[in-house]
Copies of this chain bind each other. A is one copy, B any other.
Amino acid sequence: MVKLRITVTLKKTVEDSEGDSVKKALKLLGYEGVKEVRAGKIYFITLVKGSKKTGKEFCEKLLANPVINECVVDD
């Protein structure tokens, strides 16, 4: 059994409205010291067999768009 954690975020160069909106909300809740929020998606995937490479394939084929996303696979 292989467990992968795949994190998909927006590239630094792409504006993150979700992150910005969380930042704004936290500020309004009184947290003045929030400098930056970047939001992303995370997938915990259990495979009968496979490797980090399989995870990379998932990024390419389904989970991320290379034009805007970064996709990190951890095992």
Where the two chains meet, the residues of A that have a C-beta atom closer than 8 Å to any C-beta of B are: 1, 7, 9, 19, 22, 25-26, 29, 31, 33-50, 54, 58, 61-63
Whole-angstrom distance from the CB of A48 to the nearest CB of chain B? Answer: 4
A50 touches B62 (CB 8 A): no
**Are A34 and B45 CB-contacts (below 8 A) given A22-B62, A62-B25, A63-B22?**
yes
What are 12 pairs between A and B in contact, CB < 8 Å? A9-B42, A9-B44, A25-B62, A33-B49, A33-B50, A34-B46, A36-B44, A37-B45, A37-B46, A39-B41, A40-B42, A42-B42
A41 touches B43 (CB 8 A): no
A49 proximity list for chain B (CB < 8 A): 33
